[in-house]
């Protein structure tokens, strides 16, 4: 994703104020989503059946 953003910014440097926050938000969302999935999978594996 960073490579795509880099290509877009190199072609349109005037769009940096629009693209940079979007890329930052998207990357943060994906990282937090990955962490949440990892944590929930770890809890499911460690839980014992009732």
Q: What is the pLDDT of residues 5-22, one digit of tens each?
A: 788 888 988 888 888 888
pLDDT for residue 50 is more than 70: no
Phi/psi of residue 19, each to 5°? Answer: -80, -40
pLDDT for residue 47 is more than 70: no
Closest residue by Cα to residue 19 from 5, 30, 29: 5
Cβ 8 vs Cβ 15: under 8 Å: yes
pLDDT for residue 45 is more than 80: no
pTM of the model: 0.56
Q: How many domains does the chain divide into? A: 1
Please enumerate in sequence order all residues whose Cβ is within 8 A of that of 27, keeping only pairs 6 or more positions apart, or say none.
1, 2
Question: Can you give the pLDDT at residue 49?
Answer: 58
**DSSP category for residue 12:** -
Domain that includes residue 12, residue range: 2-46
Distance of CA 45 to the CA centre of its chain: 25
């Amino acid at each position: 994703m960073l490579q795509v953003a880099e290509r877009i910014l190199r072609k349109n440097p005037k769009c940096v104020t629009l693209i940079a926050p979007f890329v930052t938000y998207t990357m943060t969302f994906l990282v937090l989503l990955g962490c949440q999935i990892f944590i929930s999978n770890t809890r499911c594996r460690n839980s014992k059946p009732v």
